[in-house]
Amino acid sequence: MRKVVLGLVSAVLVVLAVSPAFALDKAEMVALLKELDDRQRNSGDYNAVVFIDAKEKGKTDVSYEAVIYRRDDDDKLVILFTQPKSEAGKGYLRIDRNLFLYDPSVGKWERRTERERIGGTSSRRNDFDESRLAEEFEPEYVGEETLGKFTVHHLRLTAKAGADVAYPLLELWVDKATGNMLKAQDVALSGRLMRTSYYPKWQKMFSEDKKAEVYFPREIQIYDEVEKGNKTTIVMRAVELKPLEDSIFTKAWLESKSR
Amino acid sequence: MGVFITIAIRNLLQSKRRTAFLGLALSLVTMLLILLLGLSQGISDNLIGSATTLSAGHINVGGFYKITNSDVSPILTGSGQLMKDVAASTPGVERIIDRHRGWAKLVTETSSMYAGLNGVDIKQEDRLVEVVHLAQEKEYREGGSAEVKGDVGRLSEPNTAMIFVAHAKRLGVGVGDVITLRTETLDGYNNTVDVTVVAVAQDFGLLSNWTIFVPKQTLVQLYQLKPDTTGAIMIYLDNIEDAEPTMATLRANLLERGYRVMDHQGSPFFAKFETVQGEDWTGQKLDLTTWEDEVSFLTWILTAFDMITVFLVGVLVVIIAIGIMNTMWMAVRERTAEIGTLRAIGMSRGRVLFMFVAEAFVLGLVATSAGAVLGLVIALVLNALAIDIPVDAVRAILLSDTLVLSVTARHMVESVAALTFFTVAAALWPSIRASRLQPVTAMQHVE
């Protein structure tokens, strides 16, 4: 009898030892993702100036300046490049889950996919847009880990069927204390690691429309894991949450900016 | 007749060394001819195999749609009814399928390239599934496993792709990775779509270098086409040799049904854009081609190879013919006294001539037969070894990754007959000279 009890106790201890400590259940993970999305979503409009620095192995570093316009309620996004001069007027428009690129040098619109390298850098559309993690991914708990000095939840997200995402798998590290996303890794279906992104600085500001605070990453560092040595840094500045004109989210407006 | 053959064999055996050298030379030339013909036939078989699997049916009903004189789209509208009409108008059909056609830039994280797109309904593509072999991961990825990953059947899923090893290597992708397809739509704006690689197939000759397969729906989405359109209807016949006459029958039947059909041009559809653009008509016209028309840009390989074969074998045959003539002259000279005796006891000139010709015939027949059999054995051994061709350029020319020699019975019979004929022809002049010797002169001849 004593042996049986000891055996059972040992088995329980082994199970506890191999289980992720304080694992989140499905509902808690979805709640965590919703929280991440909700923090970054503004029920009104959003605009910001972004600086994109791209370092590519064997090439001269390139710096871009662009303006981002977001209307989260309608899932609309505009990225308008303003610097350098050679790229000024180039822009992206996302409407109805379609991402269009306008290149003033050829005067033509092109429909691009979610994998589009914005401005040829390692950044993607979703780096500038609102977060839709809960809507687009199914979470799985990997474990509680330490990332530098932070204790984090490590989640593995798999894209839902029909979700329009750049990569089907996403590894996410979320700060347990603040609920901020600190690190993300984009993974191809083959298991190949494509990008690693770090979110070292988060900022928040009060939104009149939302009647709550809106979070945004002040800086994103993106490491290209396929072309090792390539790195893109996105810095957000001059974030404003004031209402934007409807005409901004049209092809005509973007075309007019290069005239 | 039997006596002459016996005499010929005895004479050949009497001059063993000479017979052996000449026989060996004839055998080697025959063997070489058989191998070259086998290689040429192998290229031809590969061409037919790859063409009719990757890019064409035995007969193809393609066509162009023109909104204005200069707006040319290589599409067929009303494809459902057209398929039915084509099926009803074509005799000797094994099966009919349709595919969308396209041309796009393939973009990955590390590289890009252009390739032709085949939009397929994988449920129709039994032959493709049967003929195409998936590659082991190590064939396209450094440090990859021997596992064959992927499944052609997954082409039934939207936005998927089957690529070939050459593409996988160049684009740095494997099964599960994503490729962005970028192309200009028929309306003139650029569109893109992401496809997930669901299978990597072994290369299938030169054609597979610029061909990938995606579901039809992906091409419809990429080109913004209506559902009732297609690129080409591909007809597979019970006998590929009937392609030309069947195409003529189909043309007549389609014209009778009221379809507008373009004049036949023996070139692939993508080579006709400029011509069609310059023609004064709008709407839909059908374009009928055979598989040979669709790969006519590759038949130069066969022509060039056949020319090399003819030249090489021709030179060798001339050398052998000189050898045979020389040998026969020697034989005549050695046996001049014998010829005189035979003539003196009543043998006619014709029989003397026949005696020497029979000698050349026996030598030619035996040596070339042995050479043909040797060639066949070598070809079978080489095929069994499945020798990989390491050089890309040679692979491209031979349209295969491995050395394939396809020796047919017809090749063997024709080679033996042709070279035996040349042997006999070469021996004819010395034999005629022998038959014209005066018996008295010949008998007095002292070696």
CB distance A108–B190 less than 8 Å? yes
The identity of residue A6, as a single letter, is: L
For the ranges A1-10, A101-110, A137-146, B325-334, the lowest mean pLDDT is seen at: A1-10
Q: Distance between the two ends of chain B, CA-based, in angstroms?
A: 30
CB distance B192–A110 less than 8 Å? yes
The pLDDT of A15-20, averaged and rounded, is 46
Chain B closest-CA separation from residue A176 CA (Å) = 32
- pLDDT tens digit sequence for A161-177: 888 888 999 999 999 99
B379: its two tokens = 């070809």
A175: its two tokens = 């700060």
Task: Measure CB to CB from residue A188 to each of B110, B178, B180 and give the nearest one.
Answer: B178
Who wins on pLDDT, B240 or A259?
B240
Which residues in B have their CB inside 8 Å of a CB on A?
109-110, 172-178, 180, 182, 189-194, 196-197
pLDDT surpassing 80 at residue A181: yes
CB distance B175–A190 less than 8 Å? yes
Q: Would you state the pLDDT for residue A4?
A: 55
Q: Give ∠ CA A100-A103-A108 in degrees, rounded to 5.
A: 75
Q: Would you state the pLDDT for residue A17?
A: 46
Kind plus residue range of the DSSP H or E element containing A155 = strand A150-159
Asked if B82 contacts B96 with a C-beta cutoff of 8 angstroms, the reply is no
Residue of chain A nearest B188, judged by CA positions: A108
φ, ψ of residue B389 in degrees (nearest 5): -95, 115
- Taking phi over 0 as left and psi of -120 to 50 as alpha, with beta for the rest, A176 belongs to alpha
- Dist. CA B322–CA B326, nearest whole Å: 6
CB distance A113–B194 less than 8 Å? yes
| Count of residues making up chain A | 259
Structural domain spans, chain A: 26-256
Q: What single DSSP character describes residue A59?
A: S
What per-residue string of b and e applies to B151-168 under the rule 16 or more CB within 10 Å gives b?
ebebbeeebbbbbbbbbb
CB distance B176–A112 less than 8 Å? no
Residue B113: pLDDT band (50, 70, 90) is very high
- pLDDT tens digit sequence for B207-266: 888 899 999 999 999 998 988 999 999 999 999 999 999 999 999 999 999 999 999 998
CB distance B192–A194 less than 8 Å? no
pLDDT surpassing 70 at residue A12: no
CA atoms within 13 A on the CB side of A211: 0
Asked if B99 contacts B231 with a C-beta cutoff of 8 angstroms, the reply is yes
Contacts of B7 (CB under 8 A, 6+ apart): B355, B358, B359
- 3-class state of residue B262 by DSSP: coil
Q: Would you state the pLDDT for residue B443?
A: 65
CB distance B194–A190 less than 8 Å? no
B356: its two tokens = 């020497």
- pLDDT tens digit sequence for A90-129: 999 998 888 999 999 888 889 998 888 898 898 998 888 8
Cβ of B389: how many Cβ atoms within 10 Å? 16
CB distance B190–A111 less than 8 Å? yes
Q: Would you state the pLDDT for residue A219?
A: 93
B33: its two tokens = 């001819």
Residue B122: pLDDT band (50, 70, 90) is very high
Chain A closest-CA separation from residue B191 CA (Å) = 5
Q: Would you state the pLDDT for residue B447?
A: 53
For the ranges B51-55, B309-313, B437-441, the lowest mean pLDDT is seen at: B437-441
- pLDDT tens digit sequence for B166-201: 999 999 999 999 999 999 887 778 899 999 999 999
φ, ψ of residue B403 in degrees (nearest 5): -75, 120
Cβ of B88: how many Cβ atoms within 10 Å? 10
pLDDT surpassing 70 at residue B88: yes
pLDDT surpassing 80 at residue A7: no
Give the mean pLDDT of chain B.
Answer: 88
Residue that has been written with the tokens 């002040």 in this structure: A218
Chain B closest-CA separation from residue A164 CA (Å) = 10
pLDDT surpassing 80 at residue A2: no
CB distance A116–B192 less than 8 Å? yes
Residue of chain A nearest B175, judged by CA positions: A190
Identify the burial level of B301 via C-beta atoms within 10 angstroms of its C-beta, where 0-12 means exposed, 13-18 middle and 19 or more buried.
buried
Task: Measure CB to CB from residue A112 to each of B110, B178, B192 and give the nearest one.
Answer: B192
What ipTM, to 2 d.p.?
0.77
**CATH 2.50.20.10 correct for A26-256:** yes
The pLDDT of A237-241, averaged and rounded, is 87
B53: its two tokens = 């699997």
Kind plus residue range of the DSSP H or E element containing B102 = strand B93-107
- 3-class state of residue B176 by DSSP: coil
CB distance A190–B177 less than 8 Å? yes
The pLDDT of A129-139, averaged and rounded, is 90
Residue percentage of chain B with pLDDT more than 90: 49
CB distance B192–A113 less than 8 Å? yes
Residue B446: pLDDT band (50, 70, 90) is low
Task: Measure CB to CB from residue B180 to each of A113, A189, A194 and give the nearest one.
Answer: A113
Measured between beta carbons, the chain B residues lying within 8 angstroms of A111 are 189-192
Measured between beta carbons, the chain B residues lying within 8 angstroms of A189 are 176-178, 196
Residue percentage of chain A with pLDDT more than 90: 46
The pLDDT of B410-435, averaged and rounded, is 88
Residue of chain A nearest B224, judged by CA positions: A111
pLDDT surpassing 90 at residue B154: yes
Give me the long-range contacts of B390-393 (CB less than 8 A, separation at least 24): none
Q: Would you state the pLDDT for residue A16?
A: 45
Residue B410: pLDDT band (50, 70, 90) is very high
For the ranges B1-15, B17-31, B56-70, B74-88, the lowest mean pLDDT is seen at: B1-15
The pLDDT of B385-407, averaged and rounded, is 82
Task: Measure CB to CB from residue A111 to each of B109, B172, B191 and give the nearest one.
Answer: B191
CB distance B177–A114 less than 8 Å? no
B213: its two tokens = 């397969």
